[in-house]
Chain A
Amino acid sequence: MSHTVQFTDVCEFMARHLADVFDTMLAMKAVQVPNAELPQFGERVSGAAGFGGETVTGAVYLHLSETFAKQVAAAMLGLSPEEITGESEVNDVVGEAANMLTGGLKSWLCDAGTECALSTPAIIRGTSFAIEPMPHVQREWLVFDCGGNRFVVEVHLKFN
């Protein structure tokens, strides 16, 4: 089956969906910053979830600084950042946010005739790591601002 979905459409959808997830689950306003430089994180928390089907494979990564990840975790759980004491709470929230982002994209792709299934989310933590896509995978980084905190959604997509 030939696909009619364009990568630019996917990125536009992700920008809208990210804002919706932040607004609905965190009561936080996140806006895309077009053409922004990628932020330099110290300690980074990245949530990832993949999707795959006969005609499309891909993944969505949500990259947050550790400090902002803690704020996000607190907002989603209805706590203050000081009440978030362990990495596991932050990991679970960032993983769930990645799951919501990727699930929305998966549903959007399915409705556009590009059937695929969703993976369970994973977390990567560290100060210095790089994610390299496989050959022929299209990749885009979308930079967002939320109350002065810059963060990144990285989209990988390959049409088979």
Chain B
Amino acid sequence: MPTKILSVDDSRTIRLIVGKAFRPYDVQMFEGSNGEEGLAAAAREKPDLIILDVTMPIMDGVTMLGKLKENPELKAIPVIMLTAESGRDNVLQIAKIGVRDYLVKPFKEDQLIEKAGRIVTLQKKPAV
């Protein structure tokens, strides 16, 4: 069974970069472009990990995170915040709601893989 990862970001660019980072691994990617879509995808797919942006239209990442934690079926899904905002207060506020890790944009793909690899199993795909 591949590891299921949900990327929630309003930027298609970031979703592409995240998808590209996990391409060498046995990972099934899912996407959402705002918190509402992210919550729906999380409920539908029950991912092993969510990579979540903060500033998004319609529903932001902090609101989505709060709703995840309120839902008994989804609250155990680990979340890595991937955001352009790194201010101390911002990090503390989000940490209180409950995230497993935090990655600030700009970021390198191997930083994301390292953080994700501490939370879920990332198995390299066999060479073709």
Contacts and interface: CB of A to CB of B under 8 A. Distances in A.
Interface of A: 20-21, 24-25, 73, 76-78, 88-89, 92-93, 95-96, 99-100, 102-104, 106-111, 115, 118-120
Contacts of B88: 110-111
Nearest to B89: A110
Interface string B93-115: 00000000000111110000000
Contacts of A102: 84
A100 B89 CA distance: 18
A77 B57 contact: no
B11 A107 contact: no
9 contacts: A20-B106, A89-B12, A99-B84, A100-B106, A103-B105, A107-B85, A107-B86, A110-B87, A110-B88
Given A99-B55, A103-B105, A76 B13 contact: yes
Contacts of A99: 11, 55, 84, 105
Contacts of B86: 103-104, 107
Can you list the 3 inter-chain pairs with the closest CB atoms, starting with the nearest?
A103-B84, A110-B87, A24-B106
A24 B105 CA distance: 9
B85 A118 contact: yes
Interface in B105-127: 105-108
Contacts of A88: 12
Given A100-B105, A120-B55, A106 B87 contact: yes
Contact of A110 (B11, B20, B90): B90
Contacts of B13: 73, 76-77, 89, 92-93, 95-96
Of A24, A100, A108, A109, most B-chain CB atoms within 10 Å:
A100
B16 interface: yes
A16 to B, nearest CB: 12
B106 A25 contact: yes
B29 to A, nearest CB: 16
A106 B84 CA distance: 9
A111 B104 CA distance: 15
